[in-house]
Amino acid sequence: MKSNLTIDQFATREIPPEAARDLARRALEDADLFNALVARGAVEASLKTPAVRAALATPGRHKQWAIALCAVAAAWLLVVVVWRSVVSHQGRQPAAQARAIVPKPAVLPSPAVLPSLDASTNRPVLLASDLRPARSAGAPVFRGDSSPSRLPQSSGTITALDAGEVTVNLGSLDGLAKGTQLGSIVITTVFRDHARGKVVSGSAIHLNDRVSVPPSIHIAAVLHQVDALAASGDLNQARALARNALSAGSSGETRVLLERLAALDYKAGATDAAREHYEAAANNFYAPPAASPSEQAAMLNSLGALYLLRGDPQSAAKPLNQAASQTGTDPDLRSEILNNLGVLSEMNGDLAKARDYYSRAHAQVNLTRLANLKRP
Amino acid sequence: MHNRDFFAGGRSTLSERRDAVTDYRRLLNALESRARRMGSRDPESAAQEALKRSLENAMSQPAVEYYFSEELPPDAAPPAWPLDQLMAWLHGVLHFVVLEEHNRAGNRRELASWARGADAQDRLDPADPAPGQLDELIRRELEQIVIDCLPALDADYRRVLKMRASGLKYGDIAERLGVSENTVATWVSRGIRTLAQSVRRRMQPRKPLVAMPEQQRGEP
């Protein structure tokens, strides 16, 4: 124990030369101490040599084994994912899907160069507008101080009935707009927390009858309020609201909610949850209504950027390449994807490829500017 | 076999040799027991040879004198080599000397039938490498041991040691990895310690280098 202590002190060069002389003489009587000093000296001297530097740069056997095991695990995971997606039914809860499909992450390696979303750091900068930092709770908000009086409701009741015109206790807060159809009622006038509408001829409507808001409209209302809460800096309440609404529609309808929740998770520092929700949303791309190519590209770009921020370039490659393969995306989004592929290449040590991606990302943005320049 | 006279053939006078033996008695004892563990047939000579070569080397000599001489002059300046570097050197020299000893013995057994001429000793005992060459041999030997042990190192430690080895300062590494300088210092320290433990295990001989049959142990 005493030898170890001295070795550690010696290793940090904390002991003066006279003490090192005492240590040297003790090492002559203590073979273990002698051996420890020899090993330490061999390492310290060898670390400076080009051969050892080169050997350090190549992955070790353990890592290669780990990569091989990961490949086998990924293959198994793929089989499980495909099987589960075949047998899963439409009405299943998205959050439950996320828990079922997504495995718990292994210990993630920290890469040599961790990227950042912040352009002011001296690190590779990722572009993912969804993941940009949220405003702090104390930041000024250019909207009314009064918070919404209540949460969006997915159903309400008929509160008044008069000569074919009804009043319901659902309003713009719940996503209603002029023309919205609630069963046999068509909304004609909308207020904040109630609305009036006409009954389609021939329908029997009674006081206190229940009316339901279509899931897509309810989810849009929830999203609106989630955005408002996030904009005011209340991330936790925004996440809670989004999470609670995950059961409000089919997996295709709630996909956008999962995406928004994932971005909020990341901004709140819950990166594991963010990854789970992004992956669950990606699993639902083709559940009706299917995601458009632009929506897919944006979400895959965010997922890839999240992997890179977590120091996991291996996992980032697939979503980013998939995002890049989507056609019809707008130039700014395409530029973000190409930039992030550049960061991925840089993290993998392929600087030539990284430069190529960065220049393509730059050119993509300039294309839009050039097109505008030529217009007048 | 090595010459049993300390510094025989060198420039040292008799009094210098006696002083050296006296001055480094404890070091010689330690090297002798180490040489025995390495399988030397003549550990005393191997220890003397290792010390002789260390005192011939311009870099190791001041370090040997500073750390191991019995009486250090009060105005002695600390050497350029830290203690661990000197110990690694001493181990390397001793290992090389013992290997040489085994090679000589092996050659003698194989060539005993024809190597009986007056020049046999020259042919069978090639000239010792110059100090610079010996330095290079030892460096390569230690380097190879360290390289062999690298796969046992955790990927995070490899990464941070690689950055350190490429000359990056702790602050630069900290910025790249997004951690504090203290964390980098801890990782570097733990990485070196882990690697050193692995190197130490690797260096410990499982058995003597050569187990010579008793009847072959005499001089040819």
CATH of the domain at A304: 1.25.40.10
For residues A159 and A261, state if they share a domain: no
Q: Is residue B78 part of a domain?
A: yes
What's the whole-number mean pLDDT along residues B40-50? 89
pLDDT of residue A33 exceeding 80, the answer is: yes
* A107 shares contact with chain B (CB less than 8 Å): no
Please give the average per-residue pLDDT across A22-45, as a whole number. Answer: 85
- Residues A253 and A350 placed together within one structural domain of the fold: yes
The reply to whether A162 and A235 lie within a common domain is no
- Compare all CA atoms of chain A with the CA of B198 and give the residue at the minimum distance: A39
Q: What DSSP assignment string belongs to B99-164?
A: HHHHHHHHHHHHHTTT--STTHHHHHSPPPPPHHHHHHHHHHHHHHHHHHHGGGS-HHHHHHHHHH
pTM of the prediction? Answer: 0.45
Residues A364-368: contacts with CB under 8 Å, at least 24 apart: A364/A331, A364/A332, A364/A334, A364/A335, A364/A338, A365/A331, A365/A332, A365/A335, A367/A331, A368/A331, A368/A332
Q: Measured between CB atoms, which of B162, B192, B200 is closest to A35?
A: B200
Q: What pLDDT score was predicted for residue A158?
A: 92
Q: What is the domain extent for residue B184?
A: 153-205
Res. A108: pLDDT tops 50: no
User: If you average pLDDT over residues A328-346, what whole number do you get?
Assistant: 89
Regarding whether B100 and B198 lie in a shared domain, the answer is no
Position B106 in a domain:
yes
A114·B177 Cβ contact <8 A: yes
Q: CB-based contacts of A279: which residues, under 8 Å, 6+ apart?
A: A98, A101, A102, A303
Q: Which of A254, A235, A253, A231 is nearest to A244 (CA)?
A: A254
pLDDT of residue B194 exceeding 60, the answer is: yes
- The neighbour count for residue B147, using CB atoms within 10 Å, is 16
The total domain count for chain B is 2
Statement to judge: residues A257 and A344 lie in one domain: yes
Interface test with A, best of B70, B81, B83 (most A CBs within 10 A): B83
Do A235 and A298 sit in the same domain of this protein?
A: yes
pLDDT for B103-119, tens place per residue?
A: 776 655 555 544 455 55
Q: What's the rounded mean pLDDT across residues A223-242?
A: 89
Clarify whether residues A195 and A222 are in a common domain.
Answer: no
Write down which residue in A212, A231, A259 finishes a domain.
Answer: A212
Residue among A41, A111, A116 whose CB faces B84 most closely: A41
Q: Are A233 and A139 in contact (CB under 8 A)?
A: yes
Write the CA distances from A124 to A267, B48, B67, integer angstroms.
19, 57, 48
Which amino acid, residue B72? L
Tens-digit pLDDT profile for residues B164-183: 887 888 888 877 777 788 88
pLDDT over 50 at A47, yes or no: yes
Domain that includes residue A268, residue range: 129-134+217-374
Task: Answer whether residue A17 is part of any domain.
Answer: yes
Cis before residue A289, ω within 30 degrees of 0?
yes
Mean pLDDT of A2-27: 70
CB B191 within 8 A of CB B173: no
Q: Do A322 and A256 have their domain in common?
A: yes
Asked, for residue A275, whether it belongs to a domain, the answer is: yes
Determine, yes or no, domain membership for A346: yes
Q: Indicate if A204 and A285 belong to the same structural domain.
A: no
How many Å from the N-terminal Cα to the C-terminal Cα in chain A? 80
In this prediction, residue A81 has a pLDDT band, given cuts at 50, 70 and 90, of low
More confident residue, B98 or A372: B98
Model confidence band, residue B127 (pLDDT cutoffs 50, 70, 90) = very low
Claim to verify: residue A335 and residue A282 sit in the same structural domain = yes
Predicted confidence (pLDDT) at residue B60 exceeds the cutoff of 60: yes
B157 shares its domain with B200:
yes
B179 and B92 fall within a common domain: no
Q: Where is pLDDT greater, at A264 or A280? A: A264
Do B11 and B97 lie in one domain? The reply is: yes
| pLDDT value, residue A176 | 93
pLDDT of residue A118: 82
What distance in Å separates the CA atoms of residue A241 and residue A152, rounded to the nearest whole number? 10
Cα A286 from Cα B190, distance rounded (Å): 49
Report yes or no on B72 lying in a domain: yes
pLDDT number for residue A247? 76
Question: What's chain A's average pLDDT?
Answer: 79
- Average pLDDT of the segment spanning A107-111: 45
Q: What is the pLDDT of residue B101?
A: 81
- Give the residue among A260, A355, A334, A341 at the shortest CA–CA distance from A307: A341
If one counts the domains in chain A, the total is 3
Question: How many whole angstroms separate alpha carbon A57 and alpha carbon A348?
Answer: 12
Distance to chain B for A43, nearest Cα, Å: 6
Structural domain includes residue B220: no
Q: Is the alpha carbon torsion for A241, A244, A248, A249 positive or negative?
A: positive
The reply to whether ipTM tops 0.85 is no
How many Å apart are CA B1 and CA B102, to the nearest integer?
A: 9
Which positions in chain B touch A48 (Cβ < 8 Å)?
A: 165
Could you tell me what percent of chain B has a pLDDT over 90?
2
Tokens linked to B114: 């024809």
Q: Is pLDDT at A88 greater than 60 in this prediction?
A: no
Which is more confident, A102 or B166?
B166
Q: Binning pLDDT at 50, 70 and 90, where does residue B2 land?
A: very low
Partner-chain residue, chosen from B90, B142, B164, that has the shortest CB–CB distance to A45 = B142
Are A261 and A328 contained in the same domain? yes
User: Is residue B122 located within the same domain as residue B197?
Assistant: no
Spell out which residues of chain A touch residue B33, defining contact as CB-CB under 8 Å: 31
CATH code, domain with A167: 2.40.30
Q: List pLDDT tens digits, range A276-324.
A: 889 888 888 888 888 888 899 999 999 999 999 888 899 999 999 999 9
**Set of chain A residues whose Cβ sits within 8 Å of the Cβ of B204:** 35
Residue with tokens 């060539």: B111
A196 or B58, greater pLDDT? A196
**Coil vs helix vs strand at B188:** helix
Q: B200 lies in a domain?
A: yes
A106 occurs within a structural domain: no
Give a yes or no: residue A113 inside a domain: no
A285/A369 same-domain check = yes
Res. A327: pLDDT tops 80: no
One domain for residues B80 and B170: no
Chain B residue closest to A45 (CA)? B85
Residue B4 lies in a domain: yes
Contact in structure between B41 and B80 (CB atoms under 8 Å): no
In a domain? residue B216: no
pLDDT of residue A194: 93
Q: Which of A166, A185, A212 is at the close of a domain?
A: A212
Which residue among A29, A37, A48 places its CB closest to the CB of B165? A48
pLDDT of residue A168: 93
**A106 close contact with B: CB closer than 8 A:** no
- Gap between the Cα atoms of A230 and A137, Å rounded: 9
Asked whether residue A114 is domain-assigned, the answer is no
Kindly report the nearest CA distance between residue A17 and chain B, in angstroms.
6
Q: Examine the domain organization and report whether A328 and A365 are in the same domain.
A: yes
Q: Are residues B172 and B112 in the same domain?
A: no
Which tokens is A127 given?
């572009």
CB contact under 8 A, A55 and B147: yes
Q: Among residues A167, A191, A212, which one ends one of the domains? A: A212
Residues of B in contact with A109 (CB under 8 A): 155-156
